[in-house]
C-alpha cells in the first residue's frame, strides 16, 4: 500500500507541476501578446500612450498623444529602446530590420518602424490606429525593446533615410504588457 500511495503521490505531484507550468506558459503568452509605450517629453505638456497588440500575423498599433503642436507629426519606431532627454537621439535611427527604404504606410517596402504621420488637432491631441505587418509583439522582429518617437514636424514620406520629420519631441520605450487582456 505504501508503494502504491507513493506512486500516486508522485503522479499527482508531476500533474500539478505540469498544470502550473502550463498556466505559467499561458500567462506568459497572454502578457507577451501586447506591449505598451508611455511617451515622455522634455516639454511636460507633451505625453502619450501607444499600445501594440498581436492580431494574427500583424500588430495593431493604437496611439494617443496630448499637448503637441497642431499639425502632422512623424511617428516612428526607432531601433534602440533608450529615451534620453532632451533630444532622444539615444533612440537611434528608424527600426529597419529588412533594410528597406523609408516610406509611409501603406507603401511597401518601407522600414518596419515607419508609422507615417499622426494628426494633432487644434486642441493638441492626436490619435493613430494602424496595423503593421512583418513585425510581432514577441518573437521574430518584436517591437518590444524599441522606442516610439513623436517628431516635431511632418514626415514627407520620401526623404532618405528618415522622412525629414524634424526634432524628436517625445519618446517612449516599448515594454511587454504585464496585464492579461
Beta bridge partners of 150: 75, 170
How do beta strands 168-173 and 147-151 pair? antiparallel
- Model confidence pLDDT, tens digit, residues 120-177: 999 999 999 999 888 999 888 999 999 999 999 998 878 777 667 889 999 999 999 9
Q: Which residues are tagged catalytic?
A: 76, 78, 94, 102, 111, 114, 151, 168
- Model confidence pLDDT, tens digit, residues 19-49: 333 433 333 344 459 999 999 999 999 999 9
C-beta separation of 109 from 98 below 8 A: yes
Amino acid 32: pLDDT:
55
Distances (CA, A) of 5 to 8, 9, 15: 5, 6, 15
Q: How far apart are CA 70 and CA 59, in angstroms?
A: 27
Could you say which of 3.10.290.20, 3.30.230.70, 3.90.1150.10, 2.60.40.200 is the CATH number of the domain covering 34-176?
Answer: 2.60.40.200
Indicate if the alpha-carbon torsion angle 61, 67, 73, 75 is positive or negative: negative
Closest CA to 156 of 129, 107, 118, 117: 117
Q: What pTM did the predictor assign?
A: 0.79
C-beta separation of 158 from 19 below 8 A: no
> When comparing pLDDT for 172 and 104, which is higher?
172
Amino acid at each position: 500500500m505504501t508503494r502504491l500511495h507513493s506512486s500516486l503521490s508522485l503522479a499527482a505531484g508531476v500533474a500539478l507541476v505540469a498544470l502550473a507550468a502550463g498556466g505559467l506558459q499561458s500567462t506568459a503568452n497572454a502578457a507577451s501578446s501586447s506591449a505598451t509605450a508611455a511617451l515622455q517629453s522634455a516639454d511636460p505638456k507633451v505625453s502619450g500612450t501607444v499600445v501594440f497588440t498581436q492580431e494574427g500575423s500583424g500588430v495593431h498599433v493604437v496611439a494617443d498623444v496630448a499637448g503637441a503642436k497642431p499639425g502632422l507629426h512623424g511617428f516612428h519606431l526607432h531601433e534602440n529602446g533608450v529615451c534620453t532627454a532632451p533630444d532622444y537621439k539615444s533612440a537611434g535611427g528608424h527600426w529597419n530590420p529588412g533594410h528597406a527604404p523609408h516610406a509611409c504606410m501603406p507603401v511597401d517596402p518601407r522600414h518596419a518602424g515607419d508609422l507615417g504621420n499622426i494628426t494633432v488637432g487644434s486642441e493638441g491631441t492626436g490619435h493613430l490606429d494602424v496595423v503593421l505587418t512583418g513585425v510581432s509583439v514577441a518573437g521574430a522582429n518584436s517591437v518590444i525593446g524599441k522606442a516610439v518617437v513623436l517628431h516635431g514636424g511632418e514626415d514627407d514620406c520620401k526623404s532618405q533615410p528618415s522622412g525629414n520629420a524634424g526634432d524628436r519631441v517625445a519618446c517612449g520605450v516599448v515594454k511587454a504588457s504585464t496585464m492579461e487582456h
